[in-house]
């Protein structure tokens, strides 16, 4: 992974941390990868909100050897209760996870010039609006800069193009939602800001290497898969219908 310009290799048991408005990308994903992605608003736990807004990590990686031993059990519990959106312990386990995380990683103040810099403003704006229809043109207009200037920030400073960055944020969120069986894939398409299933499937396959349904199957129990068969088949019919309609329009 590359987080805020720092390239790290995430090995079994490691934890990679990306704070708000920190550009990050997956440089390589092994085919046998298995892990947990936790994506949440920095304001979810008020106690830690200020740290997320005003601090950054010295190193974005907390290795398996460095992390507190209790974190493995907490992560397992978080993954379990996250399957139930209304589970009363979700916030409790997240609070516990963050408490241990901040004892294991080193933080440093986010420099004022970074906070006020245009790159930070761009990333902050996108982090707040990536599930909405966004284009280079509309984003540049919202930030009061030219389309060419915005494109230059991404290509020269962030080393990623605008659409790739948007897709990274959206697919990260999609991965989290796919592990929650209460959402259908059709719902996830629109919750992540995609206008149609075909675009979503193409972006998901490009970033994760597998289709959304196959990704979900990795995290679903056998019984849950059987229960979802009819719903998934219906989704495929709906998506195929949407694809056919789009192809006719083209």
Write down which residue in 124, 159, 194 finishes a domain.
159
Indicate which CATH number applies to the domain containing 210: 1.10.10.60
If we measure between CA atoms, which residue out of 45, 46, 44, 40 comes closest to residue 19?
Answer: 40
Residue 200: HSE in the Cβ half-sphere, 13 Å Cα cutoff = 26
Question: How much is the pLDDT for 110?
Answer: 73
pLDDT tens-digit map of 80-105: 887 776 688 888 999 999 999 999 99
Please check whether residues 21 and 86 belong to one and the same domain: yes
**CA pair distance 221, 33, nearest whole angstrom:** 18
Question: How much is the pLDDT for 85?
Answer: 63
pLDDT tens-digit map of 28-59: 777 777 788 887 878 788 899 888 878 888 89
Please check whether residues 173 and 206 belong to one and the same domain: yes
pTM of the predicted protein model: 0.55
Please check whether residues 177 and 215 belong to one and the same domain: yes
Please check whether residues 134 and 214 belong to one and the same domain: no
Contacts of 81 (CB under 8 A, 6+ apart): 87, 89, 90, 93
Question: How much is the pLDDT for 40?
Answer: 81
Contacts of 232 (CB under 8 A, 6+ apart): 185, 213
Please check whether residues 176 and 245 belong to one and the same domain: yes
Range(s) of the domain holding residue 143: 112-159
Please check whether residues 199 and 223 belong to one and the same domain: yes
Please check whether residues 105 and 191 belong to one and the same domain: no
**CA pair distance 36, 76, nearest whole angstrom:** 9
What pLDDT band is residue 124 in, cutting at 50, 70 and 90? confident
Please check whether residues 194 and 234 belong to one and the same domain: yes
Please check whether residues 142 and 83 belong to one and the same domain: no
Please check whether residues 129 and 90 belong to one and the same domain: no
Please provide the average confidence, as pLDDT, over all residues in the chain. 81
Question: How much is the pLDDT for 160?
Answer: 83
Please check whether residues 195 and 143 belong to one and the same domain: no
Structure tokens at 57: 């990590």
What pLDDT band is residue 65 in, cutting at 50, 70 and 90? very high
User: 126 near 118, Cβ under 8 Å?
Assistant: no
**CA pair distance 197, 47, nearest whole angstrom:** 38
CB atoms closer than 10 angstroms to residue 159: 11
Contacts of 90 (CB under 8 A, 6+ apart): 78, 81, 82, 84
Please check whether residues 215 and 243 belong to one and the same domain: yes
pLDDT tens-digit map of 126-140: 888 999 999 999 999
Total domain count for the chain? Answer: 3
Question: How much is the pLDDT for 41?
Answer: 76
pLDDT tens-digit map of 180-217: 888 999 999 999 999 999 999 999 999 888 999 998 88
User: 49 near 43, Cβ under 8 Å?
Assistant: yes
Write down which residue in 133, 159, 185 finishes a domain.
159
> 55 in the Ramachandran plot: left (φ > 0), alpha (ψ -120 to 50) or beta?
beta
């Amino acid at each position: 992974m590359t987080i805020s310009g720092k390239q790290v290799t995430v090995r079994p048991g490691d934890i990679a941390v990306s704070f708000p408005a920190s550009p990050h990308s997956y440089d390589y994903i092994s085919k046998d990868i298995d892990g947990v992605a936790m994506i949440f608003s920095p304001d979810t736990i008020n106690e830690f909100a200020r740290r997320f807004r005003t601090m950054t990590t010295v190193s974005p990686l907390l290795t398996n050897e460095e992390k507190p031993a209790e974190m493995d059990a907490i992560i397992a519990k978080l993954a379990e209760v996250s399957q139930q959106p209304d589970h009363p312990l979700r916030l409790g386990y997240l609070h516990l996870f963050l408490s241990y995380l901040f004892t294991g990683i080193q933080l440093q103040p986010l420099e004022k010039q970074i906070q006020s810099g245009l790159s930070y403003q761009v990333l902050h704006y996108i982090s707040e609006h990536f599930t909405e229809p966004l284009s280079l043109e509309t984003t540049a207009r919202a930030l009061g800069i030219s389309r060419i200037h915005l494109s230059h920030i991404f290509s020269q400073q962030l080393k990623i193009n605008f659409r790739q960055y948007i897709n990274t944020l959206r697919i990260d969120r999609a991965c989290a939602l796919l592990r929650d069986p209460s959402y259908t894939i059709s719902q996830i398409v629109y919750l992540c800001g995609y206008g149609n299933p075909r675009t979503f499937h193409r972006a998901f396959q490009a970033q994760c290497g597998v289709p959304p349904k196959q990704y979900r199957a990795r995290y679903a129990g056998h019984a849950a898969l059987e229960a979802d068969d009819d719903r998934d088949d219906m989704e495929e019919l709906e998506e195929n219908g949407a694809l056919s309609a789009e192809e006719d329009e083209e």
